[in-house]
A and B are shown apart, each in its own frame.
Chain A
Amino acid sequence: MMNLAWIVPLFPLGSFILLLLFGQRWKQASAYVGIAATLLSLLLAFAVLVDRLGGSTYEANWTWMTLGDVTLTAGISVTALNAWMLVVVALVSWLVHVYSQGYMAGDERFSTFYAYLGLFTFAMLGLVLSPNLLQAYIFWELVGLGSFLLIGFYFYKEEAKAAAKKAFIMTRIGDVGFFIGMMLLFWQTNSFDYDDIFRAVGDGTLSPGMTMLAAILIFIGAIGKSGQFPLHTWLPDAMEGPTPVSALIHAATMVAAGVYLVAALFPLYEASHAAMMTVAAIGGVTAIFAATIGLVQTDIKRVLAYSTISQLGYMMLALGAGSYVAAIFHLTTHAFFKALLFLAAGSVIHAVHTQNIEEMGGLWRRLPWTAPLFLIGALSISGVPLFAGFFSKDEILAAAWTNGPRLLFWLAVAAALLTSFYMFRLFFLVFAGKARRHEDAHEAPASMVAPMLVLGVLSIASGYMQTPWFGSFLGEWLTDGTYHHEAAPGWIAVIATVVSLAGILLAWLMYGAQKMPRDWLSARVPYIDELLRRHYYIDDIYRFTVVALVSFISRLLAYVDRFLVEGLARLAAGIVGAAASAGSRGQNGQVQTYGAVTVSGLAILVVIFALTGGYWL
């Protein structure tokens, strides 16, 4: 089956093309095309995974073009990592497709939505299958395009339009880094293939300095795509898109692409200590940084967005600490519980038609399916024992303790505390207490609940692939059996449990039982509260520095264009026009004038003839 892996991305692509052509006619039936296409992808991806379980890595390349003595190839490769990613991406994408049928029902551009979802899924699956950097880069950009289209799906809203542009431009900034890094590697190794690059790293063809430089440049691309500090500001704004899209972006596609890229190039990073430290530091800082902002958000989707940034920081921290397995493990569990949380949030929004958590409350009884499922997601992301998030977060903490700097370990622990606090703040504000408004809130249709149920089961079950108790299947599989579990001290799991429960307790005291005043912190240190509410002023800093500078330069250039370039063009056109109008004035309709001109012309010719004897010059 592995040799058929290249077909996996083609199903969503087919759905995209079909819906572009016939979507207007099929209307609501478009959903079935999208769902069927991704289901086929999912089944095939499963088959590939099963096949890979027993076999070895499959790789197929064919020549794309030959330029001089360089041959560019295109192809697919099925390694342990990307067979795994194929399933995760296809599964989450399929569930989102199913869910959207209920959530987007009645939308005017329903079929367009499904077409874009198909494109987005295609791009991500293609990225995952790429065996070389160039191909990965193409799909990487396609992922960016898909997210742009979907974030800006409600393009008639100014915010959505701005958010789509912001997402596209900010990730492009990262992509420039990726591109330069890729070109550096190509320049040094004469190949885009992952395998060739790793070989060059191994035998020393690639100097340590160059390795570090290329690794960090490519990491900049991952920073942009995965919403790491300081290029994270597009991710919360991307919440302007429809909620299923947020689920897709945050769980399986877009942001996972950055983590996947670093994971796919892991041998390159391993070769450079400085690059690893950069990845770990950015990840650790992002984890705590985004978690603090998440504390004060009042928009249900924005809280989740900041939690995504924070969790992606964890994954980067794990990669930087050298635990490739922990990062992929967390990527997987996060894909499930974050998709669950977003879909549940979508269901809440569907029920109450607002995103402001201050206006919600008491929805536990009204949403008998959504509420417990949201609780499962929240418990999982908070790292409560026996839920998936606990195991993956524990792996990351263990890796950070054994390999990373101590500071980053403690940052990660603090971020875990904050995570469970803001998740349960969200939970208590939305579901507990008494209903503040929206007496008529009702549960979502089955097509929305069913995907959430699947994800709810996965949010618990996916943790048991890799536990300290039952063995580490995922780790052994991803590393082809050479995996050995880091002997992390047992107290790390205890600490992780304690902080997550402490966070929940604190949230319960403040928002559930209301035994503590809610403004306990903001009343004491209002400036910190303000700082968090304004997202550390990052957007404002960008507005006053980068944006101001760029718009100043572009305004300058606009003036050059308007007055200098356009002036020259007008001058040329003006001269020709003036000559023409002067010439046409001579044609005045007076035959005698023409005659006089002719005669004088003849006279001049005769004079010239007489003077020169018939030879001009």
Chain B
Amino acid sequence: MTLSAYLALALILFCIGLYGALTKRNTVIVLICIELMLNAVNINFVAFAKYGAHPGVRGHVFALFAIAVAAAEAAVGLAALIAFYRSRKTVQVDEANSLKH
């Protein structure tokens, strides 16, 4: 397997995630899409750590950190979402629009 195959996979994953994050109206789906984008980045880290110009362990460590932080982020995001649901009785992202001009 070559580096470019991993990068292509990461790119595809990232674009799917981005598309979902920008277009889906359900906040849960948006959060899932953000996880996709994060994982696309993790794939990049690991791929470069293995096949990059300077192979080493640093990429793996970075990926592990990113996974840990993403888990925390998912927990906070879901908590915020539940709080939002309680006050608004909805999880539609386009209805979270009180902060405007």
A584 touches B22 (CB 8 A): no
Query: A590 at the A/B interface (Cβ < 8 Å)?
Result: yes
> Beta-carbon contacts of A578-617 to B below 8 Å, as 1s and 0s?
0000001101111110011001000000000000000000
* The stretch of B5-13, B40-48, B93-101 that contacts the partner chain: B93-101
Q: Which of B23, B93, B101 is in CB contact (< 8 Å) with A588?
A: B101
Residue of B nearest to A587 (CB): B101
Could you tell me the distance in whole angstroms from the C-beta of B69 to the nearest C-beta in chain A?
A: 20
For the complex, give the distance between the alpha carbons of A591 and B98 in Å.
11
B97 touches A588 (CB 8 A): yes
A599 touches B22 (CB 8 A): yes
Could you tell me the distance in whole angstroms from the C-beta of B24 to the nearest C-beta in chain A?
A: 9
Task: Find residues 1-59 in chain B having any chain A CB closer than 8 Å to their own CB.
Answer: 18, 21-23, 30
B97 touches A592 (CB 8 A): no
Q: Which of A584, A595, A596, A599 is in CB contact (< 8 Å) with B101?
A: A584
Could you tell me the distance in whole angstroms from the C-beta of B71 to the nearest C-beta in chain A?
A: 22
B101 touches A585 (CB 8 A): yes
Task: Find residues 280-326 in chain A having any chain B CB closer than 8 Å to their own CB.
Answer: none
For the complex, give the distance between the alpha carbons of A595 and B19 in Å.
11
Residue of B nearest to A584 (CB): B101
- Within 8 Å CB of A585, what residues of B? 101
B97 touches A590 (CB 8 A): yes
User: Would A591 and B18 be within 8 Å (CB), given that A584-B101, A585-B101 are in contact?
Assistant: no
- Choose among B30, B93, B101 the residue with the greatest number of A CB atoms under 10 Å from its CB: B101
Task: Find residues 71-97 in chain B having any chain A CB closer than 8 Å to their own CB.
Answer: 93-94, 96-97
A591 touches B100 (CB 8 A): no
Could you tell me the distance in whole angstroms from the C-beta of B43 to the nearest C-beta in chain A?
A: 20
- Within 8 Å CB of B98, what residues of A? 589
A589 touches B22 (CB 8 A): no
For the complex, give the distance between the alpha carbons of A591 and B25 in Å.
11
B side interface size, CB within 8 A: 13
Overall SS of chain A's interface = helix
Residue of A nearest to B18 (CB): A599
- Within 8 Å CB of A587, what residues of B? 100-101
- Within 8 Å CB of B97, what residues of A? 588-590
For the complex, give the distance between the alpha carbons of A532 and B97 in Å.
84
For the complex, give the distance between the alpha carbons of A585 and B100 in Å.
8
- Within 8 Å CB of B100, what residues of A? 587-589
User: Would A590 and B18 be within 8 Å (CB), given that A584-B101, A585-B101 are in contact?
Assistant: no
- Within 8 Å CB of A590, what residues of B? 94, 97
Residue of A nearest to B27 (CB): A591
Could you tell me the distance in whole angstroms from the C-beta of B4 to the nearest C-beta in chain A?
A: 18
For the complex, give the distance between the alpha carbons of A599 and B21 in Å.
11
A596 touches B22 (CB 8 A): yes
B101 touches A591 (CB 8 A): no
Task: Find residues 234-267 in chain A having any chain B CB closer than 8 Å to their own CB.
Answer: none
B99 touches A595 (CB 8 A): no
- Within 8 Å CB of A591, what residues of B? 93, 96
- Choose among A588, A592, A599 the residue with the greatest number of B CB atoms under 10 Å from its CB: A592
- Within 8 Å CB of A599, what residues of B? 18, 22
- Within 8 Å CB of A592, what residues of B? 21-23, 30, 93-94
Residue of A nearest to B98 (CB): A589
A595 touches B21 (CB 8 A): yes
User: Would A595 and B22 be within 8 Å (CB), given that A587-B101, A588-B101 are in contact?
Assistant: yes
- Within 8 Å CB of B94, what residues of A? 590, 592
Could you tell me the distance in whole angstroms from the C-beta of B56 to the nearest C-beta in chain A?
A: 27
Could you tell me the distance in whole angstroms from the C-beta of A455 to the nearest C-beta in chain B?
A: 79
- Within 8 Å CB of A596, what residues of B? 22
- Within 8 Å CB of B93, what residues of A? 591-592
For the complex, give the distance between the alpha carbons of A591 and B77 in Å.
14
Could you tell me the distance in whole angstroms from the C-beta of A465 to the nearest C-beta in chain B?
A: 88
- Within 8 Å CB of B96, what residues of A? 589, 591
Residue of B nearest to A598 (CB): B22
- Within 8 Å CB of A595, what residues of B? 21-22
Could you tell me the distance in whole angstroms from the C-beta of B67 to the nearest C-beta in chain A?
A: 23
Could you tell me the distance in whole angstroms from the C-beta of B70 to the nearest C-beta in chain A?
A: 18
Could you tell me the distance in whole angstroms from the C-beta of B76 to the nearest C-beta in chain A?
A: 16
Could you tell me the distance in whole angstroms from the C-beta of A246 to the nearest C-beta in chain B?
A: 67
For the complex, give the distance between the alpha carbons of A390 and B5 in Å.
129
Could you tell me the distance in whole angstroms from the C-beta of B31 to the nearest C-beta in chain A?
A: 12
Could you tell me the distance in whole angstroms from the C-beta of B41 to the nearest C-beta in chain A?
A: 15
For the complex, give the distance between the alpha carbons of A595 and B20 in Å.
11
Q: Footprint of A on B, CB under 8 Å?
A: 18, 21-23, 30, 93-94, 96-101
Q: Which 8 A-B pairs have the closest CB atoms?
A: A589-B97, A589-B100, A584-B101, A587-B101, A588-B100, A592-B22, A589-B99, A596-B22
Listed A/B pairs (13) with beta-carbon separation below 8 Å: A584-B101, A585-B101, A588-B101, A589-B99, A590-B94, A590-B97, A592-B21, A592-B22, A592-B23, A592-B30, A592-B94, A599-B18, A599-B22
Known: A585-B101, A599-B18. 14 other contacts (CB 8 A): A584-B101, A588-B97, A589-B97, A589-B99, A589-B100, A590-B94, A590-B97, A591-B96, A592-B23, A592-B30, A592-B94, A595-B21, A595-B22, A596-B22
